[in-house]
Amino acid sequence: MSPDQRIADFEPERLRLKRLAYRMLGSLSEADDVVQDAWIRWAGVQEGVDVPGAYLTRIVTRLCLDRLKSARARRETYIGPWLPEPLLNSADPYDDIADDVTVTLMLAMERLSPLERAAFLLHDVFDVPLTEVAMTLDRDPAAVRQLASRARKNVRKERVRYRLDASEADSIARAFFTAARDGDTTALANMLADDVEIHADGGGKVMAFRNIVRGITNVLKLFANVRRKNLPPQTLVQTAVIDGMPGYISRYPDDSLGTTALDVAAGRIRAIYVVRNPEKLRRLAEGH
């Protein structure tokens, strides 16, 4: 296989491989590293390959499985809730699968074993035939079918999508930002589901809630405290669709950025996902 042919076969697959690696790992930087490692391995292939896409999928999946072992160990010592790096649909090249895979689904997949996660993503999200998944995971098809089935049962409810048009998503994001900034508990009470949760990822590097805040009573108390303390407010940078959800980018008084994604169901916000860990916002900061 000539160098030119290797490049010609690899480049059409690059973006799909990045999407797969991100969904496996929840990290854009690690996804880029995996794809680069896959290219190095691909460049060393001497023999011809009948289906380059399938071959490269196997390489990337196996590289991700290796990384997931150390990632799980890091998550066990992670300070506060862990969230995946946010993807902004409006400007991000990864955006065309965001309608299918959201923050909630990414978190649900964290509960899966690495093999279950791989089987589910390959078969259910990326439509890889079962026989190819079996070859990739070095398992027989019956075992892979069981892996995918167990994963599907665990994440089924998180695949339900409540689609909002762009204007409605923008309106919800702006209304929530204003009410949260002002500590307007009356307005917030009309937006939030009774079982609403706040997940805030600071990674121990910036101020963020160390535990998930659950229930509308606790969430409203939190925002009432913000109003009572009269803290310097955040400023709205822009609204955005973040991993398929309405949300926004905001700037904090210390000039750092954060993203907030809102999981909306039946007209109510059921979860609020805030990412403040600067390591997960490097790409975002470069553009702002």
What residue ranges do the domains of the chain occupy?
A: 1-77, 103-160, 166-286
Query: How high is the pLDDT of residue 69?
Result: 82
Alpha-carbon span 212 to 224, nearest angstrom:
17
Structure-block tokens of residue 149: 């089935």
Low-confidence spans in the chain with pLDDT less than 70 = 1, 89-101, 157-163, 287-288
The residues that bridge with 263 in the sheet, in sequence order, are: 271
Angle separating helix axes 3-10 and 52-76, nearest 10 degrees: 60
CATH number for the region 103-160 comes to 1.10.10
**Cβ atoms within 10 A of the Cβ of 238, count?**
13
CATH architecture assignment, domain 1-77: Orthogonal Bundle (1.10)
Residue 230: CB partners within 8 Å, gap ≥ 6? Answer: none
State the residue for tokens 């190095």. Answer: 40
State the residue for tokens 């060393």. Answer: 44
Q: Identical fold at 1-77 and 166-286?
A: no
Query: How high is the pLDDT of residue 101?
Result: 63
Query: How high is the pLDDT of residue 91?
Result: 45
Structure-block tokens of residue 226: 């913000």
Alpha-carbon span 210 to 21, nearest angstrom:
28
Between the CA of residue 232 and those of 252, 255, 261, what are the distances in Å? 8, 11, 21
Specify whether the CB–CB gap between 144 and 133 falls below 8 A.
yes
SS3 103: helix
Query: How high is the pLDDT of residue 93?
Result: 45
CATH number for the region 166-286 comes to 3.10.450.50
- Name the DSSP class of 113: -
pTM over 0.95: no
Query: How high is the pLDDT of residue 37?
Result: 96
Query: How high is the pLDDT of residue 94?
Result: 44
